[in-house]
Amino acid sequence: MLDVQRATVRFGPIVAVNHLDLAVASGEVVAVMGPSGSGKSTLLRAIAGLEPLDDGSISFDGEVIDEIPAHRREFGLMFQDYALFPHRDVRGNIAFGLEMHGLDRSAVNRRVEHMLDLVGLAGLGPRAIATLSGGQQQRVALARTLAPQPRLLLLDEPLGSLDRALIDQLLDDMRAIFDQLATPVVYVTHDRDEAFAIADRVAVMQSGSIIRSATPEQLWDDPGSAFVARLIGLDNIIPAATVATWPGFSVDDEGGSVLLRPDRLTLSIDGRGCPVTIVNDRFSAGGHRVLAVTRDGTQVAVGTMQRWSAGDTAFLAARRDAVAHLRD
């Protein structure tokens, strides 16, 4: 298993990774999530051996690997935008790591054919990289990374530049491949849906440190902090002191903020709850997303099945578990 302890990477005055701890068990898929600039890619590069640590230590299977150069770690790293070799064809890219490990020609060929089958690119071996679509390049990059059977798999935004439909399909394919691997997998992304779909556990990164580590379900049910809530797309965040004054909302003013889950709020004209004015109504798959404003000027997003018109007045109420307290 992978064990990162108090890892620190500095670029001059900038601390990209700051005393970071992370452990990943064999067979476990951990998604590292964070906004851009939070140090996710630098963490992966440090684990791969491309970025020396300024402090702390990384060990694998009980052995400290800080002094082992990148080419002897036997880890696999899949780069953002793939970094495929433009001077080699598909086969040449997948074969590269195998050649570096000294496999003979027939063993390389067998393994390349197997990898092409695995990622669904059988027959595309002689194709030039420049002629491939984005999704095909992603599959070649995955095959190149997996071909030498790395002890650890690191993926940096592997689906970053692809369109939505393709991402869903590739996520299923990758999940199926990871399930067969007994290696730890670290999957860096800024996309909530990707992280939730692929990971056993999500580690949230902020300013070079991991501030939360939990299963996708735990994270969704209890984001814990405004930062995490916003990161996973929950942005109805309102000061607790404000919500405490709204009729029908029994919130203790403990200071800090509360998260209001749009799908657990209701709008009605029955006079119970907090009076609001509708600002706009947007239909999206599965219902309406209504933006309403309270008398004290707070904007709240509500998910309903009903259409509302701008300027209507209504009453906002909370169902069970609609309100969660957040630390800041």
Binding site for other proteins (CB under 8 A): 11-12, 45, 48-52, 69-77, 79, 83, 85-87, 96-97, 100-101, 144, 148
DSSP per residue, 72-99: GS-EEEEPTT----TTSBHHHHHHHHHH
Query: Closest CB to other proteins among 137 and 294?
Result: 137
Query: Closest CB to other proteins among 86 and 286?
Result: 86
Query: Closest CB to other proteins among 76 and 262?
Result: 76
Q: Minimal distance in Å, beta carbon 62 to other proteins?
A: 22
The structure tokens listed for 28 are: 């476990």
Report the alpha-carbon distance of residue 32 to residue 188 in Å, rounded. Answer: 5
Instruction: Specify the DSSP element, H or E, that contains 196.
Output: helix 192-198
Query: Closest CB to other proteins among 128 and 310?
Result: 128
CA nearest neighbour of 186 among 77, 83, 80, 82: 77
Q: Minimal distance in Å, beta carbon 142 to other proteins?
A: 13
C-alpha dihedral sign at 207, 212, 214, 220:
negative
Query: Closest CB to other proteins among 95 and 203?
Result: 95
Angle at 45 between CA 44 and CA 47, to 5 degrees: 65
Q: Which residue has 């990477």 as its token pair?
A: 9
Q: How many helices (H) and strands (E) does the chain have?
A: 9, 18
Q: Minimal distance in Å, beta carbon 201 to other proteins?
A: 24
Q: Minimal distance in Å, beta carbon 79 to other proteins?
A: 5
Q: Minimal distance in Å, beta carbon 313 to other proteins?
A: 53
